[in-house]
Amino acid sequence: MVILLFYIPGAAAGAFATDYLGPKYTLALGVFLQAIFGFIMSGLYSRLVTEIGAFVVMCNFPHNFSGHI
């Protein structure tokens, strides 16, 4: 249930970003940020496996910005 709360700030930020940047550039920025977080997560995998809190935050943070699409 707590994991679903990660979508609330993403929907608000995505709405403002879409108004400011437009839908095409907002989507491109979201895909780029998800790729960056994917590389960070793969680099820190051994540490994220042992610390579940860090894994939950790093796994769900990119979804903040894709929750409005």
Let me know: does 68 contact 10? Beta carbons within 8 Å. yes
Helix (H) or strand (E) holding 64, with range, is: helix 52-64
Consecutive H or E run containing 5: none
Tens of pLDDT, residue by residue over 2-59, are 667 767 777 788 888 889 999 899 888 888 888 888 898 888 888 878 888 777 777 7
Give the whole-angstrom CA distance, residue 12 versus residue 39. 25
pTM higher than 0.75 for the full model? no
pLDDT at residue 24 in the model: 92
